[in-house]
Amino acid sequence: MKLFTNKKKLQREINNINNISFVPTMGALHKGHQSLIKKSVKESKKTLVSIFVNPKQFDNKKDFSNYPKSYYEDIKILKKLRVNYLYKPSYADIYKFKTKNKIFLHKFSKRLCGKYRKGHFKGMIDVVNRLLEIIKPKKILLGKKDFQQLILIKKHIEKNKINTRVISCKTIRDKEFVAYSSRLKRINSYEKKILIKILKVLRNYKKNIISQKIKHDFHMIKNELLSIGVDKVDYVELVDLKTLKKPKKNKFNLFFAFYIGKIRFIDNF
């Protein structure tokens, strides 16, 4: 595996490779990341992974400084997975150039997390766009756990006619149905038990909506989650994955964001 911290050196290396797949990460790699990387290695000529904790997509400075970092462990994982290139840029290497593409924020950015994290999606699209301009990959692999992020990247790519295909990949979960996330490294065993209970309640809640035993009632489910041990609930919403609107039929995913202590969790299923 070749490591690059400078975009010009990276570009000289990959300039003539026409089948590079790209997996963007902020490090603290887990089984979700590994699943994306394995898929890329299996299906593409070359795989490039980036590690960059992007300050522009954090609306909370403490959250940025506390974001888990495990660089040396990440290197071991990437080598084991036979990744070809790792790009670990500095802030200046990413942001000290003028982009060709304008940031496009689809109206879906105003919903769900967009209501609660000012500037988050703009910062996220900005860095992804910059990485795409530097790397020019044939494919970018993204997980469905961050579905809103995935869709907004896809819409930005379509709007700017960027020659990169978005590959959406399934959410990887543990035996308790908890989606792998870097933030899990920041919770203790008691908080993990609360998280498992929450997911059971929300899965049951979705089943009851589909079977028409109940209708979606945000205040009811919010109060139930607070009684279990959630500290704050941002949203619990039903979204049709095709229209990105409220579902007219029983085909939808349940999207939610809540806090256990100071850690914010998002997921959908």
| pLDDT tens-place string over residues 103-146 | 999 999 999 999 999 999 999 999 999 999 999 999 999 999 99
Same domain, 69 and 201: no
Higher pLDDT, 171 or 65: 171
Domain for residue 200, yes or no? yes
Closest-CA residue to 172 (of 185, 163, 181): 181
Closest-CA residue to 99 (of 48, 156, 147, 168): 156
| Position 61 confidence tier, pLDDT thresholds 50, 70, 90 | confident
CATH number at residue 241: 3.30.1300.10
pLDDT, mean of residues 222-249 = 97
| Catalytic residue chosen out of the listed positions 33, 106, 120, 156 | 33
Compute CA 115 distance to the chain's CA centroid, rounded to the nearest angstrom.
17
| pLDDT value at 153 more than 90 | yes
Same domain, 195 and 162: no
Domain for residue 179, yes or no? no
Same domain, 192 and 258: yes
What DSSP assignment string belongs to the chain?
Answer: -EEES-HHHHHHHHTT-S-EEEEEE-S---HHHHHHHHHHHHHSSEEEEEE---GGG-S-HHHHHTS---HHHHHHHHHHTT-SEEE---HHHHHSS--SSPP---GGGGSGGGGTSTTHHHHHHHHHHHHHHHH--SEEEEEGGGHHHHHHHHHHHHHTT-S-EEEEEPPPB-TTSPBP-GGGGG--HHHHHHHHHHHHHHHHHHHHHHTTSS---HHHHHHHHHHHT-SEEEEEEEE-TTTSS--SSS--EEEEEEEETTEEEEEE-
Q: What percent of the chain has pLDDT over 90?
A: 93
CATH number at residue 7: 3.40.50.620
| pLDDT tens-place string over residues 5-32 | 999 999 999 998 989 999 999 999 999 9
- Residue 33: active-site member: yes
pLDDT, mean of residues 96-103 = 97
| pLDDT value at 62 more than 90 | no
| pLDDT value at 60 more than 90 | no
| pLDDT value at 63 more than 90 | no
**What integer best gives the mean pLDDT of the chain?**
96
Domain for residue 234, yes or no? yes
| Position 166 confidence tier, pLDDT thresholds 50, 70, 90 | very high
Same domain, 64 and 9: yes
Domain for residue 180, yes or no? no
| pLDDT tens-place string over residues 171-198 | 999 999 999 999 999 999 999 999 999 9
Range of the domain at 60: 2-169
Same domain, 145 and 230: no
Same domain, 133 and 205: no
Taking every pair of Cα atoms in the chain, the longest distance, rounded to a whole number of angstroms, is: 60
Same domain, 127 and 213: no
Domain for residue 181, yes or no? no
Report pLDDT for 68.
Answer: 86
| Position 65 confidence tier, pLDDT thresholds 50, 70, 90 | confident
Same domain, 152 and 22: yes
Q: What percent of the chain has pLDDT over 70?
A: 100
Contact 52, 26 (CB under 8 A): yes
- How many folded domains does the chain comprise? 2
Given 110, 136, 169, which residue is the final one in a domain? 169
Same domain, 80 and 142: yes
